[in-house]
Amino acid sequence: MTKKKAAEFRLPTADEQEILAHLDVELVEPEERGRCDQFIVQEHYLHSAQLVGEHLRYVANYRGQWLAVATWSAPALHLKARDQFIGWTEEQRRKRLALVVNNARLLVLPGGQCPNLISRFMKRMLTRLRTPLPFPLCAFASLRETFRFGGPSLPCCLVPEKPR
């Protein structure tokens, strides 16, 4: 069995830094949802853009060129690792689950590879998720959860809201 070589760390070039400095993060407009979903179906390892419950789609773009897309949706109703990490009782979970949003998909599009792109994209999305939206999902999101494939398990990463 051969081991995969770890990606080498490198700093962004001047051109890539320009992209990062001027990266726009926006909600995907209703007329662009099909385009977003098509990229996810074609390029994401799950090959599915199906989301559960209420959801949002974001795009990271530079001068109109889409570099990455992400989707957020309602959280899983029962997630033992999350619920134990938070320390919720069953009653607390029922009452507070609406305060959690799930990062369902995150995709760097072909040609969009750039060091620090995803961390910049996530930072800007998380900032936007703190802002009330004109529809229920994320209106008062206090926790954002995301999953990463890490061998036999899917660790849960919760990002708590800073106290105000």
* Residue 112 pLDDT: 84
Q: For residue range 114-147, what is the model confidence (pLDDT) as tens digits?
A: 888 988 998 898 888 776 665 555 444 556 666 6
Token code pair at residue 101: 């949003």
Rounded distance between C-alpha atoms, residue 64 and residue 134, angstroms? 25
> Which range is least confidently modeled, 11-15, 36-40, 106-110, 151-155?
151-155
- Domain boundaries along the sequence of the chain: 14-160
Pairing mode, strands 143-147 and 100-108: parallel
- What is the value of pTM for the model shown? 0.76
CATH of domain 14-160: 3.40.630.30
Mind giving me the DSSP string for 76-129?
PS--HHHHHHHT--HHHHHHHGGGEEEEEEEEEPTT---TTHHHHHHHHHHHHH
Q: 1-48: per-residue pLDDT in tens?
A: 566 666 677 888 888 889 899 999 999 999 999 999 999 999 998 899
